Chain A
Amino acid sequence: DGGITQSPKYLFRKEGQNVTLSCEQNLNHDAMYWYRQDPGQGLRLIYYSQIVNDFQKGDIAEGYSVSREKKESFPLTVTSAQKNPTAFYLCASSIDHQEFNQPQHFGDGTRLSIL
Chain B
Amino acid sequence: AQSVAQPEDQVNVAEGNPLTVKCTYSVSGNPYLFWYVQYPNRGLQFLLKYITGDNLVKGSYGFEAEFNKSQTSFHLKKPSALVSDSALYFCAVRDIEIGGQNFVFGPGTRLSVLP
Binding site for B on A (CB under 8 A): 4, 6, 9, 40-43, 45, 48, 58, 90, 92, 97-98, 100-101, 103-109, 111
Contacts and interface: CB of A to CB of B under 8 A. Distances in A.
B41 A111 contact: yes
B67 interface: no
Contacts of A43: 44, 90, 103, 105
A106 B96 CA distance: 22
Interface of B: 4, 9, 32, 34, 36, 41-46, 49, 51, 90, 94-96, 101-103, 105-108
A9 B95 CA distance: 33
A40 B107 contact: yes
A69 B61 CA distance: 37
Contacts, number: 55
B51 A104 contact: no
Contacts of A103: 34, 36, 46, 49
Q: Which 4 A-B pairs have the closest CB atoms?
A: A106-B43, A103-B46, A42-B105, A43-B105
Contacts of B45: 106
Contacts of A104: 44, 46, 103
A103 B106 CA distance: 15
Given A42-B107, A101-B49, A106 B102 contact: no
